[in-house]
Amino acid sequence: MSRRPEDHAEAAVTKFKDYEVITPPNKLEKAVVHARPSEHYEPDPVARAEQALLTLSNDFAQWMEAECRRLDAARRKVREAGLTDAARDELFRAAHDIKGEAATFGFPLIEPVARSLCRLIEHSPEPARIPLVLLDQHVDGVRAIVHRNAQGNSERKAQVLAERLRQVTEEFLAHENRNRPGYLDEVAAPALAPDPSSG
């Protein structure tokens, strides 16, 4: 694909002793539309996108089933090959994806279980020491909640299960990281995602 005319524009550079401030050509200015309120007749783009997502939502349960199968397959590889780097990465990515998708797909109760599994894998200094039974319990927990979610009658049980898995995982991580003072506090620091609307 050929480069567009705006790709060739020059950036303005102001040099200081230790750094440069570069103002690149604003290639996105082409997309800014200044409209009077009376001209704002187009449907709200956010509402339009939400509506589009809604039409997709019929597939979400099926997609979550596929994610569960992927998690189960990754768990089986760990069982067969042990916690090798490749097997561990695969299990982590499967759990991490479920964590990020859970709420979007309408399965918010599995998010804390997937989060706990991610922490277990990511913050164990010696992954080989992670009890396989604890990995199994997380994977089975995710699958059970997904399947029971369809029946819509097990919210309390899911919360209890998630909390128990979280407690056991945190106890294990605290023990495993006992020689890394401050490590878990650092990773437990509250989320910090810049809010673009604040400035």
Measured in whole angstroms, the distance separating CA 60 from the mean position of its chain's CA atoms is: 16
Q: How far apart are CA 95 and CA 135, in angstroms?
A: 11
Torsion of CA 86, 128, 140, 115, to 10 degrees: -80
User: What is the nearest approach in angstroms of another protein to the Cβ of residue 45?
Assistant: 5
> In this structure, what token pair is assigned to residue 185?
């506090």
Q: Is 33 near another protein (CB under 8 A)? A: yes
Between 15 and 156, CB nearer to another protein: 15
The answer to whether 51 contacts another protein (rule: CB under 8 A) is yes
Retrieve residue 148's tokens: 């029971």
**31 belongs to the binding site for another protein (CB under 8 A):** yes
Q: Which of residues 160-189 bind another protein (CB under 8 A)?
A: 186-189
| DSSP per-residue string spanning 99-163 | HHHTTTTT-GGGHHHHHHHHHHHHS-SSGGGS-HHHHHHHHHHHHHHHHHHTTT--HHHHHHHHH
In whole angstroms, give the CA distance from residue 85 to residue 98. Answer: 20
Query: Considering the rule CB under 8 A, would residue 46 count as an interface residue with another protein?
Result: yes
Part of the chain binding another protein (CB under 8 A), chosen from 23-31, 129-137, 157-165, 173-181:
23-31
Q: How far is CA 56 from the centre of its chain?
A: 20
Restricted to residues 88-117, the positions that interact with another protein (CB under 8 A) are 89, 92-93, 96-97, 99-104
Of 151 and 198, CB closest to another protein: 198
How many residues line the site for another protein (CB under 8 A)?
A: 63
Binding interface with another protein (CB under 8 A): 1, 3-4, 7, 11, 16, 18-24, 26-28, 30-37, 40, 42, 45-46, 48-53, 56, 63, 66-67, 89, 92-93, 96-97, 99-104, 118, 186-194, 196-199
